[in-house]
Amino acid sequence: MARAVPSGAPPTILHVAAEAQVSKSTVSLVLQGSPRIPEATAERVRAAAARLGYVYNRRAAELRHKASNTIGVVINDLMNPFFAEVLVGLENRLVEAGYTVLMGHSHENLARQDQLLRSMREQNAAGLVLCPALGTPAALPRQVKAWGIPLTVIVRTLGSSGYDFAGSANAEGAALATRHLLGAGHRRIGFLGGVAGTMHAERLAGYRQALEERGIGFDAALVLQAHPNRQGGHDMLNALLDRGTGATAAVCYNDITAFGALSALGARGLRAGHDFALTGFDNVLDAAHANPPLSTVDIRPGELGAQAAALLLARIADPGLARQTYYAAPRLVLRQSG
């Protein structure tokens, strides 16, 4: 049970020492990561610090409240080229404004994401940009707000309020792609990629909406979920064809899923745009150079990153602003795949 800390006062290293029943110097060594302290003792100190809400700030005390020029950015999947392009736009805008970007990769791991965010807090980041890992609790923005650090969430939402957000009109984009395939004469259209979450639900809703507009019933056998990466796209395209669903086209959750699907078609001796139609979502730079070039929904990743940076900079300049949002309007880019 945490020991009392004077009302209104932040916990100090002395409070942690008393809570863990060790000396102040032991607490200091543990927080600095010294190997001289036995692991059992170190764990007791870390647990005491967590119970008290104590945060170790690596800067000297006299710099604790000095303005920082560092922005922390935590991304969920840097293997996806979409996020690399978002980061370029984000960093360019922040550097122009005089900030240095500290980037971390969560690998869709909630514990790693938490570690990265807390480390950036310790580094006294002036602001945070987060693309949440799958399963991130909706309460996270409130937690960051309690730290006193401005936050912009990108791409994936976390609830509907309490934070600035930059993303895309997902349902509208998926509906555009589906309508195009319907207009080309396809009636058995698959939906490939994504796992449970708001983005998947929104893009699937757009797909269903376009089918309903044409009076075509939704068939769950045409919808396959997997992690939205190349392997997932490859496996899902094969599964869709192996099921004997009669599918002649597919809307892919994102471009990297579509790249995997293109590979699966090639391995079967089929060509996208001739034997089977495919569309992606994002319009990463590689989409124009796929084999064949990929038809996709363009949400301009670099611009999205720049807009996210603009939201954060505005929040830093004026913490009292009303909630800000940016949704990239989707555009259909037609190439040879479908």
User: How many whole angstroms separate alpha carbon 37 and alpha carbon 146?
Assistant: 31
Supply 292's token pair.
């064949």
Average the pLDDT over 160-168 and give the result.
91
Contacts 24+ apart (CB under 8 A), 105-111: 105/74, 105/75, 105/76, 105/77, 105/78, 106/74, 106/75, 106/76, 106/133, 107/76, 107/77, 107/133, 108/76, 108/77, 108/133, 108/134, 109/133, 110/135, 110/136
Of the ranges 31-45, 80-94, 121-135, 233-247, which one carries the lowest mean pLDDT score?
31-45
Domains in the chain, please, with CATH? 13-52 (no CATH), 69-168+301-330 (3.40.50.2300), 170-298 (3.40.50.2300)
Predicted confidence (pLDDT) per residue in 80-98, tens digit: 999 999 999 999 999 999 9
Average the pLDDT over 99-117 and give the result.
96
Q: Between 283 and 58, name the one with better pLDDT.
A: 283
Residue 85's contacts (CB-CB under 8 Å, 6 or more residues apart) are 284, 285, 301, 302, 305
Mark residue 146 as left, alpha or beta (left: phi above 0; alpha: psi -120 to 50; beta: remaining): alpha
User: How many whole angstroms separate alpha carbon 76 and alpha carbon 252?
Assistant: 20
Predicted confidence (pLDDT) per residue in 22-75, tens digit: 998 888 888 877 677 898 998 999 999 889 888 776 554 334 445 579 999 999
CB 134 within 8 A of CB 148: no
User: How many whole angstroms separate alpha carbon 299 and alpha carbon 169?
Assistant: 9
